[in-house]
């Protein structure tokens, strides 16, 4: 696993040396853009619209457009000076309960493993967090950006979740057409709750997968081997427009498994009863 960051968790006067590893990875299929006439990859170069020439990296500045076509510019050194001095520390700010942090705030997950000299301090922090039932809210600089983050424990490992700052969360009031005083039909509500009950099960992440990606991989493999490709037609969409009818149809669709389980149970009970009856006859 590739180390993406090295530093230390700092809380109070305690420092815990750690290494950071990405806990997740994107599984998207990456494709290149090609020239349709010859099949060659297309280069994406940085050019100046005024000079009509390719620009080298050392000739590029960062600019903020404060009015149309008007910029204030910054070089790398100016921006680097804005970074905190202790940019290799995960500084703990507070300890809070996990349920107090809405999932809307979470961005990306990282595993934090102990550095070569920090195993004892690392284990101490893991156990202290576990026993407290708390998570740690902290600041950390990653790739020249100051992040708010949360530390929690999963299977004896410290996991860091970068989280959005409050002003990065858009107010719900900006969502258009939200009903202010919704009128709920009690019969429809009862059926909706029944449907939720039918479809409820323990969370098992292994049963979910990216169907589009798996189908795309299959198409790529077929094209590589020269096989003929046929794409199945899209499933027919239901024409049910009435909400009550849609709820009932959804409940009916969810019932077969339940009915099958009942039949199997009845069959087992029936066999057991027949066996008991036979034994009584023999005795």
243-282 vs 186-199: helix axis angle to the nearest 10?
50
Instruction: Report, as an integer, the average pLDDT of 186-201.
Output: 87
Is residue 37 included in any domain, yes or no?
Answer: no
**pLDDT reported for residue 95:** 95
Look at residue 282 and give its three-state secondary structure: helix
Look at residue 245 and give its three-state secondary structure: helix
Give whichever of 59-68, 76-85, 243-252, 260-269 has the largest mean pLDDT. Answer: 59-68
Residues 132 and 189 in one domain: no
Is residue 19 included in any domain, yes or no?
Answer: yes
Residues 151 and 255 in one domain: no
Residues 162 and 256 in one domain: no
Find the CATH number of the domain harbouring 149: 2.40.290.10
Q: What is the pLDDT of residues 239-272, one digit of tens each?
A: 556 777 877 888 888 776 554 444 434 444 445 4
Is residue 57 included in any domain, yes or no?
Answer: no
Burial class of residue 74 in the structure, from the number of CB atoms within 10 Å of its CB (0-12 exposed, 13-18 middle, 19+ buried) = middle
Q: 51: pLDDT confidence band, cut at 50, 70 and 90?
A: confident
Q: Which positions ≥6 away from 22 have C-beta within 8 Å?
A: 1, 2, 4, 108, 109, 110, 111
Is residue 231 included in any domain, yes or no?
Answer: no
**pLDDT reported for residue 239:** 56
Q: What is the dihedral of CA 179, 183, 188, 189, to 10 degrees?
A: 80
87, pLDDT greater than 80:
no
Residues 142 and 193 in one domain: no
Residues 23 and 120 in one domain: yes
**pLDDT reported for residue 273:** 46
Q: Which of 60-64, 105-109, 229-233, 237-241 has the lowest mean pLDDT?
A: 237-241
Domain that holds residue 11: 3-27+82-168
Is residue 89 included in any domain, yes or no?
Answer: yes
Q: 227: pLDDT confidence band, cut at 50, 70 and 90?
A: confident
Residues 135 and 251 in one domain: no
Is residue 229 included in any domain, yes or no?
Answer: no
Residues 7 and 141 in one domain: yes
Residues 129 and 22 in one domain: yes
Is residue 100 included in any domain, yes or no?
Answer: yes
**pLDDT reported for residue 257:** 56
Is residue 117 included in any domain, yes or no?
Answer: yes
Residues 13 and 97 in one domain: yes
Q: For residues 277 and 101, which has the higher predicted lDDT (pLDDT)?
A: 101
Residues 12 and 91 in one domain: yes
**pLDDT reported for residue 136:** 95
Residues 273 and 148 in one domain: no
What percent of the chain is modeled with pLDDT above 90?
A: 23
**pLDDT reported for residue 281:** 46
Q: What is the pLDDT of residues 100-131, one digit of tens each?
A: 999 999 999 999 999 988 889 999 999 999 99
**pLDDT reported for residue 231:** 65
Mean pLDDT of all residues belonging to the chain = 81
How many domains does one find in the chain? 2
**pLDDT reported for residue 240:** 52
8, pLDDT greater than 90:
no
Chain centroid to Cα 128, Å, comes to 27
Residues 149 and 189 in one domain: no
């Amino acid at each position: 696993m590739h180390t993406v960051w090295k530093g230390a968790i700092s809380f109070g006067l305690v420092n815990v040396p750690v290494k950071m590893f990405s806990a997740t990875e994107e599984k998207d299929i990456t494709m290149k853009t090609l020239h349709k006439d010859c099949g060659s990859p297309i280069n994406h170069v940085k050019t100046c619209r005024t000079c009509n020439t390719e620009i080298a990296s050392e000739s590029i500045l960062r600019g903020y457009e404060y009015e149309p076509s008007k910029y204030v510019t910054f070089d790398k050194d100016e921006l680097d000076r804005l970074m905190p001095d202790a940019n290799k520390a995960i500084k703990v700010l507070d300890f809070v309960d996990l349920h107090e942090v809405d999932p809307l705030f979470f961005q990306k997950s990282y595993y934090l493993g102990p550095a070569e000299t920090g195993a004892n301090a690392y284990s101490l922090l893991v156990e202290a967090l576990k026993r407290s039932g708390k998570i740690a809210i902290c600041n950390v600089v990653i790739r020249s950006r100051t992040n708010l983050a949360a530390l929690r424990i999963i299977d004896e490992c410290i996991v860091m979740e970068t989280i959005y700052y409050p002003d990065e969360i858009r107010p719900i009031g900006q969502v258009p057409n939200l009903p202010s005083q919704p009128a709920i039909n009690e019969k429809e509500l009862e059926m909706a709750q029944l449907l939720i009950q039918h479809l409820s099960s323990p969370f098992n992440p292994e049963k979910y997968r990216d169907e589009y990606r798996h189908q795309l991989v299959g198409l790529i493999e077929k094209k590589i081997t020269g096989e003929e490709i046929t794409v199945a037609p899209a499933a027919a969409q239901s024409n049910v427009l009435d909400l009550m009818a849609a709820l009932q149809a959804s409940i009916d669709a969810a019932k077969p498994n339940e009915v099958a389980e009942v039949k199997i149970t009845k069959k087992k009970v029936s066999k057991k009863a027949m066996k008991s009856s036979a034994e009584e006859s023999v005795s």
